Structure 1
Amino acid sequence: MKDIILKAENISKQYRLGQVGTGTLSHDLNRWWHEIRGKENPYLKIGDTNDRSTKGESDYVWALQDINFEVERGEVLGIIGKNGAGKSTLLKILSKVTAPTTGSIKCWGRIASLLEVGTGFNGEMTGRENIFLNGAILGMTKKEIASKLDEIIEFSGCERYIDTPVKRYSSGMTVRLAFAVAAFLEPEILVIDEVLAVGDAEFQKKAIGKMQDISKQGGRTVLFVSHNMAAIKQLCTRGIVLENGKVKYDGNVDKAIETYSETNYSKISQIKFDHNTNRSGNGKMEFLSLEFLNQNNKSVQEFSIGDDLNIAFKIKNNSDETRSEIGIQIKSSDDMPIFHIMPRDSNYEFIHTNTEEQYVVSIKDIRLFPGSYSVTIISCNTTGHEIYDMINNALHFDVLDGGKYTIRPLPRTAGLFFLNPEWKKVSDLIN
């Protein structure tokens, strides 16, 4: 039999746009009048789906709708989805920070939550005092906390500042301490919402290792929300994909990442950038457009193994710079960098003679295994120290199973690069 530690049944959460609380007094009276007559809340019948990209017809919106799942003891569950999909709302309901509009949560164990940096910390108190405060909030006794105190302080890496008020901590130090408290005080269920993004690479590695120990050795349960697909793949044993407040997929973590990628990646082969594009840099150079072309110079979003991938882009020079450098990074759907290319690698130099120019980078005979990939483009000075323009995950392309080299199925799980080296027998061996 399954050892279920957490169960969500028909969870839905409704909000009224532009309001704090349930809305007007008339709405509250209407709810109360229906309730005393034993009738359903009338506002459950209205409300738009949680799609932030469209204009709604109602003042009410369903952040979550009909969420059902079970979590077994010792399981590491990854919850993924686009911004606004309902991930944080779900975790707040699971952590009992807010109540669901309909449905119920059943859990068998203590829950420790890391929903926002510094949640539950008192800025005027020292790090040491906050350890005891947070532990008490999690239901631990003073003796339990004291027995783990040295381990918590050592893991957090904040020993030098442990008797300094938390208000003087950086966000990274705060999340280090908060994670250490939650992880070492041994709650049965640990809920983490993207807080690891604040920490540096070293701490993220330590935190993921600690969560693996928690689940495998301690038999405790972890619910993990992140946009870092590499961390989800490394840590989680199962994945739930949320889309517009509903469960789109629940199952194998690799399949969950693939489903998320299909949801998140638009099926387009060209894009024009404007001032609303999510970009960074000082603007001396500005990318105007990006497009994928195949070996037939056709604009496509899907390629096969052995095709040529041509990346065409237009760039505008908003300064008097005559030279610059370009970086193009290709990453897998789980955010793993595959390779990074620059003109200097091919003995090519960027010399600007016009305000607007167009370039094409030709990658011959691509050998990437089937899957979804993203392209990040960067414009910088020749030393790479000054970023002119950077657009992360600017455009996506797919590599399909098939092509001129493939005579067998090539699942994404089999590898990253397809190779067909020369094979030959050197000699016969005589026994």
Structure 2
Amino acid sequence: MSKVVIKAENISKQYRLGLVGTGTVRDDFKRWWSNVRGKEDPFLKIGEINNREIKGQSDYVWSLRDINFEIKQGDSVGIIGRNGAGKSTLLKILSQVTQPTTGKIYNKGRIASLLEVGTGFHPEMTGRENIYLNGAILGMRKHEIKRKFDEIVAFSGVERYIDTPVKRYSSGMYVRLAFAVAAHLDSEILIVDEVLAVGDADFQKKCLGKMNDVSKGEGRTVLFVSHSMASVKKLCNKGMVLQNGSIVFQGLIEDVVNYYENNLISTDRVLEIDYSIDDNLPMQIKRVELLNERVNKLFNTLDELIFEFDIVCRENIEGAYVTVDLKDVNDELIYWSGDYSSKRFIENIKGEIKMLCKLPKGILTSGIYNVSFAIYSPVNGVVQNEYNKVITFEIEESQSSYLSQFNINYPGKIGIPSKWDVIKINDGQYD
């Protein structure tokens, strides 16, 4: 029978909005006076759940509330939930980066964690020095680190820069080396946040393979946070779903992912958006739909992304075209429709038109993406732009070994070679 290596008992974490530290001197005095009299902290009785979609009344919020679970040796546990659910806060508590407001964490064994880009690295030190530093923090002796050193460097792929200060590394190089250190040094528990999204597709596969070896081959325990359900299902055997700081479901990974997709993600996926009509705009997008024939509304990495537009052109605007901005779950712009092939379609057209924009397959890795649209003219500037109108969709990784023909499977502001077609003009004409 496997032994329990991590146990959480009534873990809660409270933050005070807008301030660093515990808050005001008056609040600190009330806490002190309650402690002197042997009474409970008065501020633990107040506070609201961390729901960013509603406006709260209290300055105190519970990032986590009454978290209880047990993790056994050798388990791979996926922690999933929306942004702001409390996943990263929980990992920081488990990694002892921060302390819980209430409750206790029990663990058996050394913990290696990768929480965000650059965590645990000293920017002025070289990659080589940081490997030894991280090993020392884990309590390893120099000869133990030296024994693993070549394997770490080979896995990270940054051998050429190993004696360069890490402050000169790109975010991708940071993650490569940080993951290699965390995965190869002798720790009983490996904790990985969603920072692997910074790496390219090949490196993500490499990391998942390594974590799988660590868990199933070496019997180590893995905690993994990701927005990619395909990655979670591939790596983990158990999981838990966080919502507004509380565990709403936990169990076998298949059941956990099904619960998340049916109760949370399904409401987040938005494949069609309608815009409010403004007759004062010379041109306007009325509706956009991401065409999809799959039953579960998911996309595959080999699927062609096809957006259908309904556009009304009331006046002719020189050089007008539609922009497509695609962002990841961290709201970082990673791709945009950089070609200007749509100019010939929008200018010199009057009436209502239906257009298709096709983005080529293989340009995105697995994950959740948001897309916004606008009409722009180099002469008139922004004609229409509603940032709050977004299409949200999820991509699963294909089992095929096909690689992107455009070789742009990494974050960065990149123009997509999109294809545009006018498929219908209602009561309109070319000028």
Cα displacement (A) at 1:93: 0.5
Alignment of 1:227-246 (within 5 A): 227-246=227-246
Classify 1:10/1:155 alpha carbon distance in 2 versus 1 (closer, same or farther; 3 Å): same
Preserved CA contact (<8 Å) 2:272 2:391: no
Residue 141 of structure 2: aligned partner? 141
Preserved CA contact (<8 Å) 1:115 1:193: yes
Inter-partner Cα distance in structure 2 for 1:393 and 1:79: 26
TM-score if structure 2 supplies the norm length? Answer: 0.69
Q: Secondary structure at the match of 2:232?
A: helix
Inter-partner Cα distance in structure 2 for 1:51 and 1:110: 33
Inter-partner Cα distance in structure 1 for 2:144 and 2:234: 31
Alpha-carbon deviations, 1:129-151, whole Å to 9, x = none? 11001111122111110000010
Preserved CA contact (<8 Å) 1:325 1:350: no
Cα displacement (A) at 1:259: 2.4
Residue 88 of structure 1: aligned partner? 88
Inter-partner Cα distance in structure 2 for 1:60 and 1:151: 46
Residue 310 of structure 2: aligned partner? 314
Alpha-carbon deviations, 1:63-107, whole Å to 9, x = none? 011111111111111111111111111000010111101111000
Residue 394 of structure 1: aligned partner? 391
Classify 1:146/1:351 alpha carbon distance in 2 versus 1 (closer, same or farther; 3 Å): same
- Per mean C-alpha deviation after superposition, the further-off stretch among 318-327 and 244-253 is 318-327
- Per mean C-alpha deviation after superposition, the further-off stretch among 29-38 and 310-319 is 310-319
Alpha-carbon deviations, 1:190-221, whole Å to 9, x = none? 11111111111111111110000000111001
Inter-partner Cα distance in structure 2 for 1:29 and 1:51: 29
Residue 39 of structure 2: aligned partner? 39
Cα displacement (A) at 1:117: 0.8
Cα displacement (A) at 1:356: 7.0
Alpha-carbon deviations, 1:278-314, whole Å to 9, x = none? xxxxxxx9854235999xxxxxx999xxxxxx98632
1:289 aligned onto 2:291? no
Classify 1:34/1:184 alpha carbon distance in 2 versus 1 (closer, same or farther; 3 Å): same
Inter-partner Cα distance in structure 2 for 1:293 and 1:178: 39
Alpha-carbon deviations, 1:28-48, whole Å to 9, x = none? 111111112221111111001
Classify 1:321/1:48 alpha carbon distance in 2 versus 1 (closer, same or farther; 3 Å): same
Cα displacement (A) at 1:255: 2.6
Inter-partner Cα distance in structure 2 for 1:109 and 1:288: 57
Alpha-carbon deviations, 1:336-367, whole Å to 9, x = none? xxxxxxxxxxxxx9776536745388xxxxxx
Classify 1:182/1:287 alpha carbon distance in 2 versus 1 (closer, same or farther; 3 Å): farther
Classify 1:242/1:153 alpha carbon distance in 2 versus 1 (closer, same or farther; 3 Å): same
Preserved CA contact (<8 Å) 2:324 2:371: no
Residue 272 of structure 1: aligned partner? 274
1:359 aligned onto 2:364? no
What residue ranges of structure 1 are gaps of 5+ in the alignment?
A: 275-284, 295-300, 304-309, 329-348, 362-372, 381-388, 398-431
Cα displacement (A) at 1:325: 11
Classify 1:376/1:234 alpha carbon distance in 2 versus 1 (closer, same or farther; 3 Å): farther
Preserved CA contact (<8 Å) 1:312 1:358: no
Residue 254 of structure 2: aligned partner? 254
Root-mean-square deviation (CA, aligned residues, Å) is 3.9
Residue 50 of structure 2: aligned partner? 50
1:75 aligned onto 2:75? yes
Alignment of 1:6-405 (within 5 A): 6-261=6-261, 262-264=263-265, 265-266=267-268, 270-272=272-274, 288-290=286-288, 313-315=309-311, 320=318, 354=349, 357-359=352-354, 394=391
Q: Secondary structure at the match of 1:85?
A: coil
Inter-partner Cα distance in structure 1 for 2:353 and 2:9: 55
Aligned residues: 340
Cα displacement (A) at 1:127: 0.7
Inter-partner Cα distance in structure 2 for 1:327 and 1:113: 33
Classify 1:62/1:356 alpha carbon distance in 2 versus 1 (closer, same or farther; 3 Å): farther
Cα displacement (A) at 1:54: 0.5
Cα displacement (A) at 1:237: 0.9
What residue ranges of structure 2 are gaps of 5+ in the alignment?
A: 277-282, 298-305, 327-343, 357-367, 376-384, 395-431
Cα displacement (A) at 1:168: 1.2
2:274 aligned partner, one-letter code: K
Q: Secondary structure at the match of 2:5?
A: strand
Preserved CA contact (<8 Å) 1:12 1:103: yes
Preserved CA contact (<8 Å) 1:271 1:290: yes
TM-score if structure 1 supplies the norm length? Answer: 0.69
Cα displacement (A) at 1:258: 2.6
Classify 1:287/1:374 alpha carbon distance in 2 versus 1 (closer, same or farther; 3 Å): farther
Q: Secondary structure at the match of 1:62?
A: strand
Q: Secondary structure at the match of 1:10?
A: strand
Preserved CA contact (<8 Å) 2:270 2:390: no
2:310 aligned partner, one-letter code: K
Preserved CA contact (<8 Å) 1:109 1:189: yes
1:314 aligned partner, one-letter code: D
Q: Secondary structure at the match of 2:20?
A: coil
Cα displacement (A) at 1:25: 1.2
Q: Secondary structure at the match of 2:123?
A: coil
Alpha-carbon deviations, 1:312-344, whole Å to 9, x = none? 63247896459999999xxxxxxxxxxxxxxxx
Q: Secondary structure at the match of 1:69?
A: strand
Inter-partner Cα distance in structure 1 for 2:128 and 2:285: 49
Inter-partner Cα distance in structure 1 for 2:391 and 2:122: 40
Inter-partner Cα distance in structure 1 for 2:90 and 2:101: 12
Cα displacement (A) at 1:257: 2.1
Classify 1:156/1:259 alpha carbon distance in 2 versus 1 (closer, same or farther; 3 Å): same
Preserved CA contact (<8 Å) 1:11 1:104: yes
